[in-house]
Amino acid sequence: MSLTPSDPTPSATQVAPTAAARSETILKIADPQPWDVLVIGGGASGLGTAVEAASRGYRTLLIEAHDYAKGTSSRSTKLVHGGVRYLAQGNISLVREALHERGLLKKNAPHLVRDLGFLIAAYTWWSAPFYGIGLKMYDLLAGKLNLQNSRYISAAEALKRTPTLKKEGLKGGILYFDGQFDDSRLAITLLRTLEDHGGVALNHAPVTALHKNAAGKIDGATLRNEETGKDYVVRAKVVVNATGVFVDAVRRMDEPGAKNMLSPSQGVHVVVDRHFLPGDTALMVPRTDDGRVLFAVPWHDHVVIGTTDTPVPEASLEPKALPEEVEFILKTAAQYMNPAPTRADVRSVYVGLRPLVKAAEGTDTKALSRDHIIRISDSGLITLTGGKWTTYRRMGEDTVNRAAAQAGLPARLTVTPALHLHGWTTDTLDQHWRVYGTDAARIRELEGKGTPLHPELPYTEAEVRWAARTEQARTVEDVLSRRLRALLLNARASSEAAPRVAAILAEELGHDAAWQQAQVAEYQALAAGYQLN
């Protein structure tokens, strides 16, 4: 089916209600006064660093080449977790820090983070006590911020919680708890939090060059407004490179001969309908055939299953799942689920790249550290890489501590351990609206509040308008992939919704019919890559 625009859209010469916002942002950026902190990169690490800096009162600018959370930061397993696998590897300090940050994030964004039970099914007599002991340590490491204690459950309770679990040979299981979230919605919440604290951010504006003063120290950058092609020079007391798997490209703007820091690997996830995992409990496979863990997680009334760990030679914006990776996920799921999803049941396939720091040649990427690393070049470029969403706040805190010292900024203590993020509320909202927090009521007042974008998607036209007006959505992809999660939930349905989204954006941003057509074509080509042929 194809959904077409029902309302007329303005020509490019008309003034749309949202069109002036980006121009106002660019005027702020063009101010010759140096910024205290310039952050390059709008993913988890960049947004965390920018919020940390702005909340301390530093004059902060964040620049993103594409869109916030365009890369890895929108393609996670949707978990706020300590890392059970890291515990098995003996990385106690990383697990303890991640569990602490998990607890803080739940307090600071209760509208985005919720407790989720995970079942490790036991099919041998020894597996339940073996994993049970490890997960008791997991509880202890969380300390006062623990969510709920892990416990042994019977086979009957395991099947009650997870009715599609294979019954044959089931002896019981271990139930433990971690956090679940929506990754790109947290990114947009951090964007709004940055703005709430006086920070400025601009997307679709790649940095094309770094600038150095007479002493050879970096003091700014050139960025390009992709929508107009115009370049702008910004000055800053310190520059942070937080571009995820692309940090090496920015490092070479500083040092052309710099060797790569990263050994990226890709993780694939498949998304299927909810009936494959009914109930509110996730399934965790503690050891797959390749030595990883695999999760099947209920998310937005669908199920996310993943992930893999495949080294890739270089980073790309749209990495592709290999056929054998999809097959591995489905084969592993079939060992535990009945009925098990097949290729025909997959609604979407998405791939994220991990920014793993290089190790000795031949090292398995599963063994590389997931901890974050900060490096400072001779010219003063601060590069932050590694880490994961759960520890985004700590990554930002550590980076701003280093940046403030290097730039000679006034010493100020962090406030983010107790900083309520934008939209903070403890009110109970249904799963669809809860990601907006206190903004949900305002969205429901907009035109199109009751008009669905597509019969197979939970989203409304009002959400598209909200994304354009308040969340810097500039393209159909920005809306359907990251402000809404349609691309990941059902790639085909999102493709069919693209024409209507383009029409609403054209109305909001002042674009013409040619822009709409180009946007729809571009998005539908992208969405095709998220579907299995």
Is 349 found in the same domain as 442? no
Would 499 be classed as within a structural domain? yes
Is 391 found in the same domain as 507? no
Would 106 be classed as within a structural domain? no
Q: How many domains does the chain have?
A: 3
Nearest Cα residue to 262 out of 126, 386, 179, 127: 386
Is 270 found in the same domain as 350? yes
Q: What length is written for the chain? A: 533
Would 311 be classed as within a structural domain? yes
253, pLDDT greater than 90: yes
Q: Please report which helix (H) or strand (E) contains residue 200, including its range.
A: strand 200-202
Is 213 found in the same domain as 163? no
Question: What confidence tens digit (pLDDT) does each residue in 309-344 have?
Answer: 999 999 999 999 999 999 999 999 999 999 999 999
142, 99 in Cβ contact below 8 A?
yes
Q: What is the DSSP string of 258-307?
A: PPP-B--EEEEEEEEEGGGS-SSEEEEES--TTS--EEEEEETTEEEEE-
Is 524 found in the same domain as 437? yes
pLDDT at 301: 95
Would 25 be classed as within a structural domain? no
Is 283 found in the same domain as 149? yes
Nearest Cα residue to 178 out of 270, 85, 267: 85
CA Rg value for the chain: 23
Would 163 be classed as within a structural domain? yes
Would 12 be classed as within a structural domain? no
369, pLDDT greater than 60: no
Is 522 found in the same domain as 497? yes
Could you tell me the strand order of the sheet in which 60-63 lies?
A: 200-202, 60-63, 37-40, 239-241, 382-386, 372-376
Nearest Cα residue to 516 out of 485, 476, 487: 476
Q: Which long-range contacts (CB under 8 A, 24 or more apart) does 492-497 make?
A: 492/347, 492/527, 492/531, 493/454, 493/456, 493/457, 494/454, 494/457, 494/527, 495/523, 495/524, 495/527, 495/528, 496/1, 496/2, 496/3, 496/454, 497/3, 497/453, 497/454, 497/457, 497/459
Is 511 found in the same domain as 442? yes
Examine the fold and report which residue of 357, 382, 402 is the final residue of a domain before the chain moves on.
Answer: 357
- Residue 286, domain extent: 114-180+263-357
What pTM was estimated for this model as a whole? 0.94
Q: Please report which helix (H) or strand (E) contains residue 219, including its range.
A: strand 218-225
Could you tell me the strand order of the sheet in which 230-235 lies?
A: 207-212, 218-225, 230-235
Question: What confidence tens digit (pLDDT) does each residue in 473-504 have?
Answer: 999 999 999 999 999 999 999 999 999 999 99
Give the CATH number for residue 190.
Answer: 3.50.50.60
187, pLDDT greater than 70: yes
Question: What confidence tens digit (pLDDT) does each residue in 513-526 have?
Answer: 999 999 999 999 99
Is 382 found in the same domain as 275? no
